[in-house]
């Protein structure tokens, strides 16, 4: 009977290893399938980095590259900024990515929209809001990587009435701009206890209206090369 039990143990171990490999392959395939052919041809990585799936990496990199080419200053903001500064990662439960620009650069974005530059670079425009002066949310574009699952994160590109000075952080293998002294900036949006994970969202009215623009943070860290554009909100 002893050889029988030995063989049984060996078979069990082998099956366990095969099961682990199958699960790993499935996870890899899920990531790879998330990359549209447009990006596979450019040899974009098919693996997640922390909570940043391949489509998240593509979305951040492509958006940042297009904004740089259009000479539009921009920075990671809100929940994306919070996750990266607090945990060097995207918050797992976040459904979107947040990037902010200044309202004075909106005409440059209108040109990109008119010429379908985002679409030509594999991005799908979900909605465009031209609300400045009529709504606390102001102008905004939502986009996602074309061809990915509807469950994939999308990116909200905000246009705010002021601009902080910027610094850079390393994330997903490249540098991204964030507000100077980001910990103080985050405390303005989320409160002094921002380091404790909790289901708290930044106030849209405060973030995109006059509140943050006239905060103690902005008094010290505003980029004076950009206008402050007070709103009625």
Q: 13 burial class (0-12, 13-18, 19+ CB within 10 angstroms)?
A: exposed
DSSP 162: S
Q: How far is CA 15 from CA 10, 12, 26, in A?
A: 9, 5, 16
How does pLDDT run along the chain (233 residues), one tens digit per residue?
556 556 656 666 556 566 655 544 444 444 444 555 545 444 455 688 999 999 999 999 999 999 999 999 999 999 999 999 999 999 999 999 999 999 999 999 999 999 999 999 999 999 999 988 787 778 999 999 998 888 899 999 999 999 999 999 999 999 999 999 999 999 999 999 999 998 888 888 889 888 999 999 999 999 999 999 987 76
Two structure tokens written together for 89 = 């990662």
pTM of the entire predicted model: 0.81
CB 62 within 8 Å of CB 117 = no
**Residue 76 C-alpha from the chain's centroid:** 7
């Amino acid at each position: 009977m002893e050889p029988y039990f030995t063989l049984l143990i060996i078979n069990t171990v082998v099956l366990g290893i095969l099961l682990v490999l199958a699960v790993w392959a499935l996870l890899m395939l899920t990531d790879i399938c998330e990359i549209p052919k447009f990006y596979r041809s450019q040899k974009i990585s098919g693996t997640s980095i922390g909570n940043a799936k391949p489509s998240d990496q593509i979305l951040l990199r492509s958006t940042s590259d297009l904004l740089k080419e259009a000479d539009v200053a921009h920075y990671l903001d809100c929940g994306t900024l919070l996750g990266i500064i607090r945990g060097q990662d995207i918050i797992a439960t976040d459904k979107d990515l947040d990037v902010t620009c200044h309202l004075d650069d909106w005409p440059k974005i209108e040109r990109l929209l008119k010429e379908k530059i985002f679409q030509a670079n594999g991005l799908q425009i979900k909605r465009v809001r031209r609300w400045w002066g009529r709504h606390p949310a102001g102008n905004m574009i939502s986009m996602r990587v074309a061809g990915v699952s509807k469950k994939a994160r999308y990116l909200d590109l905000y246009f705010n009435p002021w601009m902080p000075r910027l610094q850079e952080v390393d994330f997903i293998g490249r540098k991204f701009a964030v507000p100077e002294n980001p910990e103080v900036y985050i405390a303005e949006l989320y409160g002094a206890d921002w380091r404790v994970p909790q289901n708290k969202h930044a106030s849209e009215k405060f973030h995109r209206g006059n509140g943050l623009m006239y905060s103690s943070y902005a008094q010290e860290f505003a980029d004076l090369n950009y206008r402050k554009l007070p709103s009625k909100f």
